[in-house]
Amino acid sequence: MPTVRDVTAFLDDYLPPALAESWDNVGLLVGDRRSEIAGVMTCLTLTPATAAEAVMRQADLVVSHHPLPFRPIQRLTTDTATGSILLDLAAARIAVYSPHTAFDSAAEGINARLAKRLGLRGVVPLVPREGTVGAGRYGWFAEPLLLESLAARVKEILGVDRLGVVAPPQHPIRTLAVACGAADEMVEAACGAGCDAMLLGEARFHTCLAAEAAGMGLLLPGHFASERFALDALAEVLAGRFPDLTVWSSRREHDPIAWL
């Protein structure tokens, strides 16, 4: 039977922690590497709902994109949601692994998957590090698209009904940058690369103003939608690599933001 060490070693190779941002907290965050495991659940974020699902379905390891804990904690009690979640998981002997920004930037990471789904060609890292990896991605379309057409494609790919945009519907797009989640700091790099537009999960108001002033369009499907699809894909990767394990992507996870 595989152990926590077996699965996390594979994840460390597939999504190298060295690719993570310096401020991040990635890798095995809770658990005993020696423990044998039979069930693995992937999710975007550990919440009371996803943690309860992991306990109910008897997961032995949760691969959560967003790390918990993220910042150092001085007390581990049920006085906080973080403490309650971690204590419940520890009591059930459930380990926690987070790839976070390493998953964003890896060769088969979230941004690379976004670029592929959108049909971009000549894709390269927006902020390169080495080889085919780095933060963000950008590439070009075989035929230019109008922003309204690209928005329709994004909604279909990510399964959302609405998304925010910066720029008129007829804004032409040939070169597109992508950066999942909250990626305001990447907009300047996209402008510098000469991109006509950028897809990112969310952006601050002043970032949107800066993009508008630079003549660059933005597409904003939401933090959840820009990343959640990749946790389904990661579950499939783990199931293929470890056929003896029961691997699933959380069924209870949902976007906390609703569009009315």
Residue 114: per-residue pLDDT? 97
CB 40 within 8 A of CB 60: yes
CB 89 within 8 A of CB 65: no
Residue 77: per-residue pLDDT? 94
Integer Cα distance of 110 and 230 in angstroms: 6
pTM for this prediction = 0.94
Could you list the mean pLDDT of each consecutive 10-residue stretch along the chain, which spans 260 residues? Answer: 97 96 96 97 98 98 96 91 96 98 96 97 92 90 96 96 95 98 95 97 96 97 97 98 98 90
- Bridging pattern class, strands 27-30 and 217-220: unpaired
Bond into 128 cis (ω within 30)? no
For residue 107, the Cα-to-chain-centroid distance in whole angstroms is 13
Select from 220, 225, 173 the least CA-distant residue to 196.
173
Residue 129: per-residue pLDDT? 87
Integer Cα distance of 174 and 193 in angstroms: 12
